[in-house]
């Protein structure tokens, strides 16, 4: 059994689809309010839990051989923040996995977390990496680049509002990676001896500026790349803001790093190491944009949803208590 966290997220969904295509048993740790039913067609099992709830993590890890960690936060909330979830939640998960005898954990982290950039989300992910390494579990940490969803989100923002807000012009060099390629690497990492106990930078095959990546996404969505660039002093001030807007300051700090620093990798060596061809960035944009179009069209969305109210829950006998059970299907509507 492979336990996957963050299965309702952009990387995590691809991880679950990849593992299921390989015919492997997957248990997704999902929160009760999540849109986990989009995974129903994969046939994975669901375990209702939360990184904030260590008891649920112990239960979720029962009879698990491998763990894939794709959970993370883009925007924090008061309870779900980088301290409670990114660092402490993942630490509790690794402890539970270690105690349950899990053989290996593969974690999708983030490129740049080791550069001392004073970006709170990067520092927290680095903290989570350190917890994994210290846990005694065998591990592989994949430090991923921005994926195609990031740029498609910006392009659809232009579509919906007329422009996207960028922290700078973005002349820095990136190698955005296809989320499906990261999922393949995560799956391969489960038993690839060459990547055991390694931390690996992961990027795509195309070296491109952040601004050109934004333009490419706009082209795929079919909009003019209209961007407003935040003035430098506003970015500096924004990054320093304290409560109650700290979560926006943290997010801005991360976005500023992605639009300021170069993040490059030796993609040929990476492809050879995992023995997979890396997807060109524009192909990843075009493929994933098909899903965006389905999700934005209510009729197409309804057609693609498999049993929205079907619960396939994995509970261990004698381990579940009433409070952890879902409410059950809603009454059918006419």
Contact positions vs ligand NAP (CB under 6 A): 5-12, 31, 34, 50-52, 70-74, 80, 85, 89, 108-110, 125, 144-147, 150
Say if CB 135 and CB 95 are below 8 A apart.
yes
Nearest to 132 by CA among 94, 86, 180: 94
Of 190 and 213, nearer to ligand NAP (C-beta) is 213
Q: How far is the CB of 192 from ligand NAP (least distance, A)?
A: 20
Of 232 and 310, nearer to ligand NAP (C-beta) is 310
258-290 in b/e burial notation, b at 16+ Cβ within 10 A? bbbbebebebeebbebbeeebbebbebbeebbe
Of 218 and 299, nearer to ligand NAP (C-beta) is 218
Helix (H, G, I), strand (E, B) or coil at 264: coil
Q: How far is the CB of 123 from ligand NAP (least distance, A)?
A: 12
Of 51 and 230, nearer to ligand NAP (C-beta) is 51
The dihedrals phi and psi of 97, each to the nearest 5 degrees, come to -65, -40
The residue number with the shortest CB distance to ligand NAP is 72
Of 162 and 280, nearer to ligand NAP (C-beta) is 280
Q: How far is the CB of 239 from ligand NAP (least distance, A)?
A: 19
Q: Which two tokens stand for residue 96?
A: 């539970």
Q: How far is the CB of 321 from ligand NAP (least distance, A)?
A: 19
Say if CB 60 and CB 67 are below 8 A apart.
no
Say if CB 225 and CB 214 are below 8 A apart.
yes
DSSP output for 160-211: HHS-EEESS---SEE--B-HHHHHHHHHHHTT-GGGTTEEEEE--S--EEHH
DSSP state of 313: B
Of 66 and 122, nearer to ligand NAP (C-beta) is 122
DSSP state of 34: S
Of 89 and 170, nearer to ligand NAP (C-beta) is 89
């Amino acid at each position: 059994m492979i336990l996957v966290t963050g299965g309702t997220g952009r990387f995590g969904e691809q991880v679950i689809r990849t593992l299921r295509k390989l015919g492997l048993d997957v248990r997704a740790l999902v929160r009760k309010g999540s849109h986990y039913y989009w995974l129903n067609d994969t046939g994975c099992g669901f375990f209702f839990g939360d990184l904030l709830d260590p008891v649920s993590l112990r239960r979720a890890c029962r009879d698990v051989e491998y763990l894939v960690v794709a959970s993370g936060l883009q925007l924090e909330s008061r309870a779900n923040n980088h301290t409670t979830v990114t660092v402490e939640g993942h630490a509790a998960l690794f402890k539970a996995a270690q105690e349950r005898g899990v053989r290996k954990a593969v974690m999708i982290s983030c490129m740049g977390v080791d550069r001392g950039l004073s970006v709170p989300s990067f520092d927290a992910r680095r903290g989570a990496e350190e917890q994994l390494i210290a846990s005694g579990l065998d591990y592989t940490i994949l430090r991923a680049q921005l994926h195609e969803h990031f740029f498609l989100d910006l392009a659809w923002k232009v579509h919906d509002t007329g422009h996207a807000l960028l922290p700078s012009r973005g002349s820095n060099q990136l190698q955005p990676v296809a989320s499906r390629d990261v999922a393949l690497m995560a799956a391969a990492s489960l038993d690839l001896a060459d990547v055991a106990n390694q931390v690996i930078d992961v990027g795509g095959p195309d070296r491109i500026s952040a601004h050109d990546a934004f333009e490419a996404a706009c082209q795929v969505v079919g909009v003019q790349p209209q961007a407003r660039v935040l003035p430098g002093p506003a970015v500096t001030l924004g990054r320093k803001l304290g409560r109650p807007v700290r979560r926006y300051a943290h997010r801005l700090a991360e976005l500023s790093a992605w639009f300021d620093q170069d993040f490059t990798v030796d993609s040929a060596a990476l492809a050879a190491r995992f023995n997979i061809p890396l997807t060109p960035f524009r192909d990843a944009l075009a493929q994933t944009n098909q899903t965006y179009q389905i999700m934005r069209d209510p009729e197409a969305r309804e057609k693609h949803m498999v049993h929205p109210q079907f619960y396939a829950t994995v509970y261990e006998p004698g381990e579940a208590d009433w409070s952890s059970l879902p409410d059950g299907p809603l009454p059918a509507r006419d």
